[in-house]
Chains A and B, each alone.
Chain A
Amino acid sequence: MAQSVSLYTPVIYIAVLLSVLVIFSTVYRKRKLRSLEGMKPWYPTHTSRDIYETLAEMAPKPPTKVLTSALLRRATEDIRRVVKIREAKGALATLHQKGSVSDDLWLRFTKSEKLMELELQDCANEANKIKEGFASTLFSSAQEIAQNDAIRQRLGNLDKIRDDFKKEMENANITASKK
């Protein structure tokens, strides 16, 4: 009674369905990959790492002292960044939960955090290459250097703060002299 359905109909149906799904998934994955590629790194440059790597790759190997100090600079910068990232992490978590920042930023930040970990590991490996067990010494010195840098920066900033306050006082004196 019913009009006979061609055998090809279900086959075509399934083929179309599957191909659409496959196309979707490949396109989706490619786009996701591209968006990850296009993601801006949290810290775009790392000069001290570049310096160290150039030195390490030089044909006549530079003296160990030079390499060590370059590595120390690199570790210092790493420490500074790790600290900054850890400080910001808590705030970002709160903000992300509240919906005050985008998912992209969260993704970018967490990815950079992972990159930072890799960088630290790489740094430790390099240190151990110079001398077995040197990594812990390297990082504790680097930490001290970072702290010292921070204090120095703060000290240097004091002059500017003093000048600012001076200016503010002068402005306030406009009124004070009137009294």
Chain B
Amino acid sequence: MSDSRYSYDEKSEVWPYFGATLTALVIVPWTISKVNRLRTVKKDLEEQKSYDSGFRSPNDDQIQKFKSRTKKEPFLSWNNLFFAISWLAFGCFAYMIFNHELSEEKDFFDPYEILGVAYSATEKEIKSHYRKLSIKFHPDKVRDTVNMTREEIESRFVQITKAYKSLTDDEIRENYVKYGHPDGPQQTFHGIALPKFLIEGNGSPIVVACYTIFIGFVLPYVVGSWWSGSKVYTKKGIHAESATKFFEIMAKERTDEISHEAILDVLADSEEYKILLPKLSKNDIKSILIAHLERKPVKNENEKYVVISRTTTLLEGYLDIVSAFRSNEVSQKILDVQKAIVQAIPLSQLFAGEVLQIPFMNIDKVKSSKVSNFKALEQLNEKDLHSCLRLATQYDAEKVIKAAQHIPKIDIVDAHFKIPGEEIITPKATAHVVMKLKVHSAINSKTPTPHLVVEEETDAILRNPFATNESGPTLPFAHAPFFPGFHKTKWYVYLVGERDNKIIEGPHELTRLDLSNLELTKEESVNDDKINICTYKIPMTQLTPENAGKYSFKILLVSNSYFGADSLHQLFMDVVNEPEEDEQVNAEIYDMSEPEEDTIAGQMSQLRGDKVKRSTNNESDDDLSSEEEDLSDIDTDTDADNTSDESDDEDPSDKKIE
């Protein structure tokens, strides 16, 4: 009965909607991300503005140019061009939509509208209205006009009659309700929101070709390159090859043989540089790195900036790899190299890094004045400084003092282990370390420590003890006049076992810290009311040991930007077995408050208990073995040897049985 056929959008009524929706789908998120990025970049630069000492490196203008180029994306780029084109396309579609009058749908039949009565009209009203209309529009009564032909007049009258009948006559009404038209079912149309020229005639091969190219080539290529790209770079953002190279060294060499130079060598051999600067060999890169450390110019300064600006990511990637080997020794060396690169200090002069990182200082001044660390610098008064450091003017001496004052040093004034909701440290529990930190200027070490207030365990703290880690202001960029980039200051926090010098926890990144203590004047800093104390908590993935006893650890706070800003603190974990009554009381309280969750919690602790046993067993094995001998490295070797030996012995015998 019904005859359906497809019709294309010949008058371009619908497809602009389709196009506009499609482009909107792309440009709306794109625009939001663009705006967001612009905002955060601006905010970052303002909030984290580093301290300006007034000192400028000789090639400062070039460095600034390079910095701004890396931070801001250029205005004329392919990205921006496509962005503009998409907006233009969207505009065109919108224009087409708004400028196209919708053609009246002839097939749409609304008896109320034709009769010109309200939808709420009663039958009586309809009848009277129809009568009026039929008198007015009856073909016998209406004369031909210029505007309307006889046929039109007649059809109008027929429409009015039909409308009237569809509202009053039962049979016709049924037709109307069922099919939407008093005459019964009408032709149905299935439109496709594509302009006709694309489908029929010359356009169709183009469409097919586009479709094939998109589905067959573009889509697989994009997905493939995304996939292989995600495989090429590790989670830490370094090239997989670079990670492999460093891993190989860590796996094959002895940790005490990995020197600062060795780290610089791996750095120079990174895959990143082979991609960015394909013309340069490994040795070229190394000499560029060394030239930077010695603050010497190279032939192509731009290459130097490219090389140096990449080092941070690479070294952070190495740090991540080292942490899996738990080697504290190598971690410190990597961070030494990081600091050396940020402050441009040769590896042979690291001992004087504290002073060399201050503007206007160099190795000759250090040697002649014999001032090589903050402690010595602190003891000089300003007049001595001027003569002792052979500074050109008094003005420079001021700058030196100011810059040194703005190097933040953290003192760990207190650190202890804590289990949320417990007074003591129980075995096999999840603990964390609470640190109280006092920031002071590197050349003002004698600030008093205010009385520490013991933190009350509120509900909020119990729920998320680590909220305080995120509360402080973001640390500013490092003061690094020779570094071609914005270097984010942070401290790496390590928890290290005292006995074997292996990393137990970390590195965690301390990126938020209140540095307001640095702004205090000398007089103010004597007053302990003004001194600000910050709290940082180190989460621990390992559970506390199974057996009661005293375990010793040390906390290391290592800066990634400044020499002499590191901090070390020894602390003990006093594991005490929990009195049994206590446990019951706790359990009861727990039962009362959340009885339903108890089962889940029970399961969780069971699960954890299994894990605990395993991990603590491992730990105790390690401990035992390292107690026996002090040569821990060889020791683990013997352990492994024994096991390997056994399996080796088994292998041939197995064979024999076969």
Which residues of A pack against B, CB within 8 Å?
79, 82-88, 90-92, 94-95, 98-105, 120-121, 124-125, 127-128, 135-136, 139-140, 143, 146-147, 150-151, 153-154, 157, 161, 168, 171-172, 174-175, 177-179
A119 to chain B, nearest CB (A): 11
| Pairwise interchain contact B243-A101, C-beta atoms closer than 8 A | yes
Q: Which 7 A-B pairs have the closest CB atoms?
A: A102-B240, A88-B251, A99-B235, A91-B324, A171-B351, A124-B652, A178-B370
A150→B641 CA distance, assembly (Å):
13
A97 CB to closest chain B CB (Å) equals 10
Are B371 and A178 in touch, CB under 8 angstroms? yes
**Contact B240 A135, beta carbon cutoff 8 Å:** no
The answer to whether A101 touches B648 (Cβ under 8 A) is no
Pair A102/B641 contact, Cβ less than 8 Å = no
Q: Does B526 contact A (CB under 8 A)?
A: no
Binds A, one of B117-125, B191-199, B372-380: B372-380
A95 to B247, CA, bound (A): 10
**By the criterion CB–CB under 8 Å, are A175 and B371 in contact?**
yes
Residue of B nearest to A89 (CB): B251
* Contacting pair A139 B247 (CB below 8 A): no
Q: Is the CB of B231 within 8 A of A102?
A: yes
Q: Contact partner of B641 among A95, A104, A146, A168, CB < 8 A?
A: A146
A143 to chain B, nearest CB (A): 5
Instruction: Find out whether the CB atom of A120 lies under 8 angstroms from the CB atom of B638.
Output: no
Most interface-central of B231, B633, B644 (chain A CB within 10 A):
B644
Closest A residue to B325 by beta carbon equals A91
User: At the interface, is chain B mostly helix, strand, loop or mixed?
Assistant: helix
* Cβ-defined contact, A100 with B634, below 8 A: no
A153 to B254, CA, bound (A): 10
Chain B interface residue count, CB cutoff 8 Å, equals: 49
Task: Kindly state the separation between the CA atoms of A175 and B355 in the bound complex, as whole angstroms.
Answer: 11
Q: Beyond A103-B231, A135-B649, A146-B641: 14 further Cβ-contacts under 8 Å?
A: A83-B637, A91-B250, A91-B325, A92-B247, A101-B234, A102-B234, A120-B648, A139-B648, A143-B642, A150-B634, A150-B637, A171-B351, A174-B352, A178-B371
Chain B residue contacts of A91, Cβ below 8 A: 250-251, 321, 324-326
Q: Is the CB of B644 within 8 A of A79?
A: yes
Q: How far is the CA of A127 from the CA of B373 in the complex (A)?
A: 61
What is the bound-complex CA distance between A157 and B259, given in angstroms?
Answer: 13
Contacts of A90 in B (CB 8 A): 324
Instruction: Looking at the assembled complex, report how far the CB atom of A162 sits from the nearest CB atom of chain B, in whole angstroms.
Output: 13
Q: Are A105 and B370 in contact (CB under 8 A)?
A: no
**Minimum C-beta distance from B584 to chain A (A):** 39
Q: A84: which of B252, B257, B375 is its contact (CB, 8 Å)?
A: B252
Contact B376 A175 (CB under 8 A): yes
A151 touches B641 (CB 8 A): no
Q: Known contacts A79-B641, A178-B370; is A171 also within 8 Å of B243 by CB?
A: no
What separation, in Å, do the CA atoms of A168 and B231 have in the docked complex? 43
B97 at the interface (CB under 8 A from A): no
* Chain A minimum-CB-distance residue to B233: A102
Closest to A85 in B: B251
B634 to A, closest residue via Cβ: A150
Interface membership of B20, Cβ < 8 A? no
Query: Is B111 interfacial (CB-CB < 8 Å)?
Result: no
- By CB atoms of chain A within 10 A, which of B256, B321, B641, B643 has the most? B641
Given contacts A83-B640, A151-B634, contact A101 B649 (CB under 8 A): no
Partner of A175, one of B231, B372, B640, B643: B372
Instruction: Report if A121-B652 is in contact (Cβ < 8 Å); known contacts: A92-B247, A100-B236, A175-B375.
Output: yes
B651, CB-defined interface residue at 8 Å: yes
Contact between B644 and A101, CB atoms less than 8 A apart = no
Question: Cβ of B243 and Cβ of A177 under 8 Å apart?
Answer: no
CA distance A104 to B20 in the complex (A): 44
Report how far A154 CA is from B636 CA in the complex, Å. 15
Q: B37 contacts the other chain (Cβ, under 8 Å)?
A: no
Nearest CB on B from A44, distance (A): 11
B320 within 8 A of A: yes
Q: Report the minimal beta-carbon distance from A142 to chain B, rounded to whole angstroms.
A: 9
Residues 334-362 of B, flagged 1 when their CB comes within 8 A of A and 0 if not, give: 00000000000000000110000000000
Give the CA-CA distance A88 to B244 in the complex, in Å: 13
Task: Please report the C-alpha to C-alpha distance between residue A165 and residue B352 in the assembled complex, in whole angstroms.
Answer: 15
Q: Is the beta-carbon distance between B376 and A178 smaller than 8 angstroms?
A: yes
Report yes or no: B370 in contact with A147, Cβ–Cβ below 8 A. no
Query: B321 to A101, Cβ gap below 8 A?
Result: yes
